């Protein structure tokens, strides 16, 4: 099973110059800088998606009731121990 996949893309010369400069400063490869950037973007996208989901859930009366009901159960379980 492959652990990496190659792909080809185009990017502005100014951005490539910035990536290359960053890679030299950090003594890393262009690929490492790009991979870190994509991973950071992925983390931010997941966080944003979760935040939007929680914001929608906070407006859902049925879901809030379910959460409150669950918290009551949790409090009872904690009280027993």
Does the pLDDT at position 71 exceed 80? Answer: no
Positive or negative, the Cα torsion across 68, 73, 79, 81? negative
Q: Is residue 8 part of a domain?
A: no
In angstroms, rounded to a whole number, what is the distance separating the alpha carbons of residues 63 and 75? 18
Q: How many separate domains does the chain show?
A: 1
In angstroms, rounded to a whole number, what is the distance separating the alpha carbons of residues 41 and 60? 29
Query: Of 79 and 48, which is predicted with more confidence?
Result: 48
Q: What number of CA atoms fall less than 13 Å from residue 28's CA on the CB side?
A: 12
Does the pLDDT at position 48 exceed 90? Answer: yes
Q: Is residue 17 part of a domain?
A: yes
Predicted TM-score (pTM) of the model is 0.65
Tell me the H-state helices in 1-81.
Answer: 13-26, 30-58, 61-80
Q: Which domain holds residue 48?
A: 13-80
Q: Is residue 6 part of a domain?
A: no
């Amino acid at each position: 099973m492959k652990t990496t996949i190659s792909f080809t893309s185009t990017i502005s010369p100014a951005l490539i110059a910035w990536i290359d400069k960053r890679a030299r400063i950090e003594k890393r490869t262009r690929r490492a800088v790009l991979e870190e950037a994509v991973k950071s973007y992925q983390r931010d996208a997941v966080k944003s998606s979760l935040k939007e989901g929680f914001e929608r859930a906070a407006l859902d009366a049925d879901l809030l009731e379910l959460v409150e009901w669950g918290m009551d159960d949790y409090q009872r379980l904690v009280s027993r121990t």
